Structure 1
Amino acid sequence: MIEFQYIHHMSLAVRDIEVSRVFYSDVLQFQEIERPPFDSVGIWYALGNQQLHLIEQPQGETLRQGDIDSTDGHLAIWVKSYSETLKWLDQQQVFYEARPHSLAGFAQIYILDPDHNIIELDAPYEAE
C-alpha cells in the first residue's frame, strides 16, 4: 500500500516563461523559489506547503487554447477572502468567472493565465 502524505507540486506548461513570470509573480504575487539548474526553462513558486512549477514548452502538446471550462484540468487554490480576491483581480484587470454560490460548498472564481491554464480560486461563502 502507498501511504500518501500530501501533494508536493503541480506543473503547468507555458509558452513564454517571462510572460508567465509577470502574471504569476506580479499579478497574482506568488512567491518565487529557487529552482535546480535543469536543462529546461522554468520557474517554481511556493503555495503554502505545496509548489507550482511552470515549464516553458513553446510547442508543447498540453497547451490549452480555449476559454474557462471548469470541467477541464485546473489548479485550485484556497484564498482567504472571496470579495478581496475579486477586488484584486479587478484592480489587476484580470478577467474572471465568479461563482459566489457554487454548488461545491464554497465560493469559486475562475481565471486563465496567459497560456489559458485554468486557475480556480476558492474561498468560504460570504454574506451579501
Structure 2
Amino acid sequence: MIRNEGLHHVSIIVSDLERSKSFYERVLGLREIERPPFGFPGAWYAVGGSGQQLHIIVHDGETKRAGGIDSRDGHFAVSVSDYGDAIDWLERHGIEYRANPNSMTGFAQIFMLDPDRNIIELNAAMRPEGREA
C-alpha cells in the first residue's frame, strides 16, 4: 500500500509567464519560492503554510481549455480564511467568478479562472446556520 503524507504540489500550464505570475501574486496573494533551473520557463509558489506548492509551467501545447467556469472540470482548490472577503477582493479586481455559498460539500465555494482559463476553487468554512464564513 502507498502511504501518502499529503499533497506536495499541483502543476498547471500557462502561456505567458509574467501575466500568470502577476495573477497568482496579485489576485491570490501567493509567494514565489525558489525553483530549480529547468530548461523551460515557469515559477513555483508556496500555498499556505504547510508545504503545499503550485507550479506554473509555460507550455505551447494544445492542452488549455477554451470554455468558461465549469466546477466539474479539472481544477485545484485553495482554502481561504474568509469567504466574503474573498468575494469582495475578486470583485474589486474585476475577476469573474461563480459563488456557491451553501454547497452540499459542507464548505462555501468560489470558482474562477486564471488568465489561461485554468479553473481555481476557493473555499471556506460555512457558518453553522448554513451561511458562508
Q: TM-score higher than 0.5 here?
A: yes
Deviations along 1:60-81, whole A, 9 cap, x unmatched? Answer: 2321111011111001111111
Secondary structure of 2:89's counterpart equals helix
Instruction: Give TM-score, length-normalised by structure 2.
Output: 0.91
Query: Does structure 1 residue 80 correspond to structure 2 residue 81?
Result: yes
Is the partner of 1:89 in helix, strand or coil? Answer: helix
Count of matched residue pairs: 127
CA distance in 2, matches of 1:123, 1:27: 17
Equivalent position SS for 1:25: helix
* 3-state SS, counterpart of residue 43 of structure 1: strand
Cross-structure match for 1:52: 54
The residue identity in structure 2 corresponding to 1:17 is L
2: CA distance, partners of 1:29 / 1:47: 9
Separation (CA, whole Å) in 1 of partners of 2:54 and 2:96: 21
Matched ranges for 1:14-25 at <5 A: 14-25=14-25
Question: Whole-Å Cα distance in 2 between the matches of residues 14 and 60 of structure 1?
Answer: 10
Superposition RMSD in Å: 1.2
Using the alignment, how far apart are the partners of 2:72 and 2:27 within structure 1? Answer: 25
2:7 partner letter? I
- The corresponding residue for 2:90 is 89
Structure 1 length-normalised TM? 0.94
Residue 123 of structure 1: SS of its match in structure 2?
A: strand
The alpha carbon displacement at 1:92 in A equals: 1.1
Distance 1:15 1:21 in 2: 11
AA in 1 matched with 2:56: L
Q: Secondary structure at the match of 2:126?
A: coil
Unaligned runs of 5+ in 2: none
**Unmatched 5+ stretches in structure 1:** none
Identity %: 52
Aligned amino acid, residue 78 of structure 2: I
Partners of 2:44 and 2:113 lie apart in 1 by 18
